[in-house]
């Protein structure tokens, strides 16, 4: 099983970010008490207690002090059994990559770092309200590697305001020269309740044309392949097989539990998600109650989930599973399957259906067409 911990605190709100967060530490102590209580209350959510992956996301987990992180980790370790060699990831902002912070994180057992770089252009970073500089990102990653962290991931974004193809490929080149094992490259989207959404509505900013974004995505994929990265998921690339084990478990439909406001959980039969409101989350747990919504998954939901998660990876979908567990739904989309197979965007290989390298760029359309509603 996997565990996700949502830390909702940020120094400031990035203009593109749609994840739940608050730009204040005012409720930090109340949050810590609440999440400790939630961990205790939900121990029996999954039948097993062996943890293979742990992921601290946000928000900005590295915004918390070492003592704060230790409290949460200690509560988790008191309630769950972590297997030898479990992957433990924590998201950090580049400005937090100090020797003291990294030493503390290592002492807590974290062995994988996910660093939100987004761009190596200081001008771009200011446009999206990031609180670090390009120099801090480069030097911080090198410091972490020199301190023995050998599983470092970082993020970049395609389609930032005013970003040229040359600037994007320069970012990719700089990233590939750093001692990182993993790179996530996301195409900018306009999420609800973000600064960018308001800017779009006011006509101050618009996304690049889809064709332009697609071409740049393909160029990024080509450049990273040349630099020794394996393209194993739509937005993710790894060196030497250092895939994100935690995220891969999501894509392979393995059970997980999420703690903290807005965190999601999955028990193979249903999904549930905590309230995306820090005060409501705290108030309920103060009374020994949970605040969440739950969705029971019907057979068609499980089929659609399988398509959506599996087909976005290089491993694809098992033909035997499609023709067995999901035969009634798979039969309904054969016309679409034949269409994408004939265009070369969908391929059958060694008992699995996969999206081809050329098909990655239209993956959203392929996935949508293979859903059953």
pLDDT, the chain, mean: 95
- 49 pLDDT more than 90: no
Share of the chain above pLDDT 90, in %: 90
Among 197-211, 253-267, 304-318, the least confident range: 197-211
Q: Could you tell me the CA-to-CA distances from 10 to 127, 177, 232, 365 in Å, in that order?
A: 17, 29, 30, 34
pLDDT digits (tens, 9 = 90+) for 205-259: 888 888 899 999 999 999 999 999 999 999 999 999 999 999 999 999 999 999 9
pLDDT for res 99:
97
pLDDT digits (tens, 9 = 90+) for 56-105: 999 999 999 999 999 999 999 999 999 999 999 999 999 999 999 999 99
Residue pair 4/249 in contact (Cβ under 8 Å)? The answer is: no
Bridge partners of 115, per DSSP, are 92, 154
Class of domain 2-251: alpha beta
- 15 pLDDT more than 90: no
Distance CA 176, CA 158 (A): 16
Domain boundaries in the chain?
2-251, 299-370
237 vs 200, higher pLDDT:
237
pLDDT for res 206:
84
pLDDT for res 209:
87
pLDDT digits (tens, 9 = 90+) for 92-106: 999 999 999 999 999
Between helix 363-370 and helix 334-343 the angle, nearest 10°, is 160
Among 14-18, 49-53, 96-100, 253-257, the least confident range: 14-18
pLDDT digits (tens, 9 = 90+) for 312-343: 999 999 999 999 999 999 999 999 999 999 99
- 278 pLDDT more than 90: yes
pLDDT for res 273:
98
How large is the average pLDDT for residues 132-144? 97
The model's pTM is: 0.95
Q: Which long-range contacts (CB under 8 A, 24 or more apart) does 121-130 make?
A: 121/163, 121/167, 121/171, 124/160, 124/161, 124/162, 124/163, 124/167, 127/15, 127/160, 127/161, 127/162, 128/14, 128/15, 128/16, 128/157, 128/160, 128/161, 129/12, 129/13, 129/14, 129/15, 129/195, 130/14
- 193 pLDDT more than 90: no
């Amino acid at each position: 099983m996997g565990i996700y911990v949502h830390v909702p605190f940020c120094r400031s709100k990035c203009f593109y970010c749609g994840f739940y967060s608050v730009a204040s530490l005012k409720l930090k102590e109340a949050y810590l008490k609440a999440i400790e209580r939630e961990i205790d209350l939900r121990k029996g959510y999954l039948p097993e207690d062996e943890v293979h992956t742990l992921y601290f996301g946000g928000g900005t987990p590295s915004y918390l002090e070492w003592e704060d992180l230790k409290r949460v980790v200690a509560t988790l370790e008191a309630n769950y059994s972590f297997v030898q060699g479990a992957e433990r990831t924590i998201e950090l902002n580049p400005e937090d990559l100090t020797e003291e912070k990294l030493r503390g994180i290592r002492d807590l057992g974290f062995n994988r770092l996910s660093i939100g770089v987004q761009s190596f252009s200081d001008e771009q970073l200011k446009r999206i309200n990031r609180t670090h500089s390009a120099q801090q990102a480069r030097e911080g990653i090198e410091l972490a590697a020199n301190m023995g962290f050998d599983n470092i991931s970082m993020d970049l974004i395609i389609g930032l305001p005013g970003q040229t193809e040359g600037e994007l490929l320069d970012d990719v080149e700089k990233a590939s020269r750093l001692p990182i094992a993993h790179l996530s490259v996301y195409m900018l989207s306009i999420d609800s309740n973000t600064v960018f959404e308001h800017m779009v509505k006011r006509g101050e900013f618009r996304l690049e044309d889809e064709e332009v974004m697609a071409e740049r995505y393909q160029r990024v994929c080509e450049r990273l392949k040349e630099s020794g990265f394996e393209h194993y998921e739509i937005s993710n690339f790894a060196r030497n097989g250092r895939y994100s084990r935690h995220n891969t478990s999501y894509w392979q439909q393995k059970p997980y539990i999420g703690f903290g406001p807005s965190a999601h959980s999955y028990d193979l039969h249903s999904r549930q998600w905590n309230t995306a409101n820090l005060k409501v989350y705290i108030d309920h747990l103060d009374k020994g109650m949970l605040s969440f919504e739950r969705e029971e998954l019907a057979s068609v939901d499980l089929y659609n989930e399988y398509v959506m998660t599996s087909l976005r990876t290089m491993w694809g979908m098992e033909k035997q599973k499609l023709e067995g567990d999901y035969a009634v739904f798979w039969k309904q989309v054969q016309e679409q399957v034949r269409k994408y197979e004939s265009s070369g965007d969908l391929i059958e290989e060694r008992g699995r259906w996969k999206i081809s390298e050329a098909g990655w760029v239209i993956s959203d359309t392929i996935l949508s067409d293979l859903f059953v509603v």
